[in-house]
Amino acid sequence: MNKSFWQAGHTPTLFAAFLYFDLSFMVWYLLGPLAVQIATDLDLSAQERGMMVATPILAGAILRLLLGFLADRTSPKTAGIFGQVVVIVALLATWILGINSYHQALLLGLGLGFAGAAFAVALPLASQWYPAEHQGKAMGIAGAGNSGTVLAALFAPGLAYLFGWQNVFGLALIPLVATLIIFILVARNAPQRPKPKAAKDYLLALNDRDSWWFMFFYSVTFGGFIGLASALPGYFNDQYGLNPVIAGYYTAACVMAGSFMRPLGGALADRIGGIRSLLYMYAVAAFCIALVGLNLNSSYAALSLFVIAMLGLGAGNGAVFQLVPQRFYREIGVMTGLIGMAGGVGGFVLAAGLGAIKEHTGEYQLGLWLFAALGILALIGLSNIKRRWRTTWGSSSATSARV
């Protein structure tokens, strides 16, 4: 990254946004790596386990609209503090009272949804400090908070083995509270922010067909990333008999690939264009997921293909949000909420769908192939609209940012 990038915005806020997003994603994803242990103790079916890990994703998707609205009407920092406090209270109550049933696990998932909604806070907080030519890098760095899923996948199963999975929720409070303090002290709202929109403007945004395209594209890239991240511990356990800790390590490798490719995907989109980047990434991800659907005998082969697919999905996340601020700069708060919601809905459908298909067919094959087909559909759709985008708002960008 060149010197002009670091001079263009506010670096402490950028990294505060990353840290806030990172720890929020860690706790948002917490039920995924713990799913096998929780399901064993509570005697959950594959479908119930899938719904349990998918509930925080859906709750986060819906709550992104709420936090996006709050960020737009007050400020991203205010919205971030509110969301983090809610998550801390939910984890504290769970640690003290415990989880003894499937429905209680779902209730915790609803509370953890506020952590997933951090997306609608961290990205506008960072984006509003940077001009369009640096949006890909800024949004990529802030969005690399996806790496919080790596922390959960790496450490949650092992901590659960040592201290019991109920106590993992209490241990998660330590870094979460520390992050909230840092966020309060370091993060600053941009001096020039778009004026807040009236409530009706949030509905009017849906009248723009580009909104729906962005929502669909992100439902595949981010939905694929978080949906697979939540389902993979159970997949590796069911498909290859790996114990929860080893399955967590396998999953960590996959989510690490997707997380750290997000900022690189944003930077790549700045260089070669967001549309071209997305075309490549959809092709890579769809191809690899389709191959995994062949029910490979080797867990190492499946792991390798999932890692490559997650690289594509992670880079695609960065590419999507390199494009969004160019098209919707003045509506970045509401559009981040809407597009982020769509990504969460996609992740919910994938995680819950894989569990349901496994329950009823005994295999993951159909679910994986359906997701690969969705990636191909996104590839075809983007190919069809790229000319219109490049000759309308893409060509009239106020800066030299590439589309």
Band of residue 395 on the pLDDT scale cut at 50, 70, 90:
low
Residue-wise pLDDT tens digits, 273-290: 888 999 999 999 999 999
How many domains does one find in the chain?
1
What does DSSP assign to residue 398?
S
Contact 47, 355 (CB under 8 A): yes
Residue-wise pLDDT tens digits, 217-258: 999 999 999 999 999 999 999 999 999 999 999 999 999 998
State the CATH number of the domain containing residue 196.
1.20.1250.20
Q: Which residue has the higher pLDDT, 15 or 321?
A: 15
Residue 17 lies in a domain: yes
Closest CA to 240 of 230, 229, 251: 251
Residue 49 lies in a domain: yes
Average pLDDT, the chain: 88
Give the phi and the psi of residue 19 in degrees, each rounded to 5: -65, -45
pLDDT at 197: 67
CB proximity list for 107: less than 8 A, separation 6 or greater: none
pLDDT at 198: 67
Q: pTM here?
A: 0.84
For 77, how many CA atoms within 13 A lie in the half-sphere containing its CB?
A: 16
Say what percent of the chain tops pLDDT 70: 92
Residue 6 lies in a domain: no
Is residue 200 predicted with pLDDT exceeding 90?
no
Residue 234 lies in a domain: yes
Residue 68 lies in a domain: yes
Domain residues for the domain of 100 are 11-391
Structure-block tokens of residue 244 = 């929860």
Residue 399 lies in a domain: no
Contact 7, 134 (CB under 8 A): no
Residue 35 lies in a domain: yes
Residue-wise pLDDT tens digits, 181-192: 999 999 998 887
Residue 387 lies in a domain: yes
pLDDT at 400: 41
Determine the average pLDDT of the residues in 31-43. Answer: 94
* Torsion of the alpha carbons at 33, 226, 139 and 313, rounded to the nearest 10: 120
pLDDT at 2: 63
Estimate to the nearest angstrom the gap between the alpha carbon of 215 and the chain centroid: 13
